[in-house]
A and B are shown apart, each in its own frame.
Chain A
Amino acid sequence: MAKSAHPSPALEEFLASLYVDPIARARFLASPEAEASRAELSEEECLKLKDIDRTGLEMASRSFAHKRASTRMASVSAGSSWWLTIVKKISR
């Protein structure tokens, strides 16, 4: 049952799950109001999410996934901080 409260952390959590979880996203796109209601969002939020920017949702989710993968790669290579040596040399 949807709550009637104004925007809450639940909305952000719901959006975050749509951005990172392809299964949650597919479920939502198949039935936006039902999924939003199941997440206990307010009636107003459920209504607003019915008109979500679907193209943008797919594009943004892909972009976020790419960014997460890039960040993992960056943290793997963080050990090779050759540039630290350069800064130290130049600052002497």
Chain B
Amino acid sequence: MVAVADVEVGVADVEVKQMQDRVGMGWRPDLATGILSNLDRIDVLEVIAEDYYERPAALRALKSLAAQVPVLIHGVSLGMASVTPVNRKLLEKVARLMDRVQPESWSEHLAFVRAGDIEIGHLAAPPMTSATVENTAANLAVARAVVGSPPLMENIATLIYPPASDLDEPAWLCETIAAADGGLLLDLHNLFANSINFGLDPNEFLARLPVHRIHGVHISGGQWIDAGDASERRILDDHRHDPPDPVYELLTELASRCPNPLTVILERDGDYPPMEHLLAQLNRARVALKRGRASISTRSTLLPLCTQWNARAVGGFNG
């Protein structure tokens, strides 16, 4: 665990060490030089599984990397939240990768990415219904059996309110994770963006989630986009901006209530700033975690902040 000597939040180090929270970032080729030069300041790296399929040279490099720093595997192509059974051949690729790299754990998304012969090309929110709860749980059971360990499942960001839904997102997440008896990789920017886009209170959203099932956290940023005529705007989770303030506040809130050690990953997928800037964000996440671990009393300070963000939905976004 990286020392946080420059952080002064009044928390005994022993308490933080006890929780073993860790903060790292997503491995991206564009960040390779900066990451490798600063491994002493990065607790853990998360790599995209699909970047290593059928690429032996990349896989060898990943094994070298995994020998130097804890590595997590993150998949984007399985489409676990679907009424269609998950593709076993894709799962077998995950299993082979896990076997070769021996990462700490793996994760996937609560999304569907294809249907019939149509590849959507990205993560789409499933209809949030009892049917998708049951089928997602069934897919997770298959994934656990084929890969040998269960994936943490990540909530996704969506620009469209999931069509044909009966449940709201917090309810659907709770039911799905419970039905699968699985763990949650909570993307706080996704939670935040969906809350703002669809009129939920981010704190209430978080409060409704089963914190004892949360083990991983993603943080990232986004930007406002409009419908073409500026009549309506929504937050796009593009991973090209710094996490906004409410995401760190939500991280503090989560840390104040979650009984598990948390592994926090900063995601960045473009418009890369200098590495020092990203490392400062890792430290900011460490501060947020420490504050949350220090006291649950911070909870009461969060509501006004996210309420301000709701009010700013027609204003500007400083993502």
A residues whose Cβ falls under 8 Å from a Cβ of B: 6-9, 11-13, 15-17, 19-20, 45, 48-49, 52-53, 55-60, 63-65, 67-68, 71, 78, 81-84, 86-88, 90-91
Our pick among B122, B158, B231 for the contact of A68 (Cβ within 8 Å) is B122
18 residue pairs from A and B, CB less than 8 Å apart: A11-B127, A11-B164, A13-B116, A15-B124, A15-B163, A16-B114, A16-B118, A19-B120, A48-B164, A49-B163, A56-B159, A56-B161, A57-B163, A59-B160, A60-B124, A82-B29, A83-B33, A88-B61
- Closest B residue to A57 using CB positions: B160
Consensus secondary structure, chain A interface: helix
Size of the chain B interface, CB-CB below 8 angstroms? 46
Tell me whether B213 is interfacial, beta carbon within 8 Å.
no
> Using Cβ atoms and an 8 Å threshold, which residues of chain B touch A55?
227, 231-232, 234
Distance between Cα atoms of A67 and B232 in the complex (Å) = 22
* Smallest CB separation, A15 vs chain B (Å): 6
Tell me whether B207 is interfacial, beta carbon within 8 Å.
no
* Smallest CB separation, B190 vs chain A (Å): 14
Known contacts A12-B126, A60-B124, A91-B65, then 15 further A-B pairs from the complex at CB < 8 Å, ordered by chain A residue = A6-B131, A7-B127, A11-B83, A12-B112, A15-B127, A48-B164, A55-B232, A56-B161, A59-B227, A63-B122, A68-B122, A87-B61, A88-B60, A88-B61, A90-B36
Distance between Cα atoms of A78 and B30 in the complex (Å) = 12
* Smallest CB separation, B47 vs chain A (Å): 11
B160 and A16 within 8 A (CB): no
Distance between Cα atoms of A64 and B114 in the complex (Å) = 12
> Using Cβ atoms and an 8 Å threshold, which residues of chain B touch A65?
121
A7 and B160 within 8 A (CB): no
Answer whether A87 and B64 are a contact pair too, CB < 8 Å, given A7-B83, A12-B82: yes
A60 and B160 within 8 A (CB): yes
- Closest A residue to B65 using CB positions: A87
Distance between Cα atoms of A91 and B26 in the complex (Å) = 19
B161 and A53 within 8 A (CB): yes
> Using Cβ atoms and an 8 Å threshold, which residues of chain B touch A7?
83, 127, 129, 131-132, 164
> Using Cβ atoms and an 8 Å threshold, which residues of chain B touch A67?
121-122
For B218-238 the 0/1 string (1 means CB < 8 A from A) is 000000010110011010100
Distance between Cα atoms of A11 and B60 in the complex (Å) = 41
B163 and A48 within 8 A (CB): yes
Consensus secondary structure, chain B interface: mixed
Our pick among B115, B127, B231 for the contact of A13 (Cβ within 8 Å) is B115
A16 and B115 within 8 A (CB): yes
B227 and A87 within 8 A (CB): no
Answer whether A81 and B234 are a contact pair too, CB < 8 Å, given A56-B159, A87-B65: no
For B12-39 the 0/1 string (1 means CB < 8 A from A) is 0000000000000000010011001000
Output the residue of B163, B165, B236 with the most chain A CB within 10 A. Answer: B163
A91 and B158 within 8 A (CB): no
* Smallest CB separation, B146 vs chain A (Å): 21
Minimum-distance CB pairs A-B, first 10: A56-B160, A68-B121, A91-B64, A83-B32, A12-B115, A16-B115, A7-B131, A67-B122, A13-B115, A53-B161
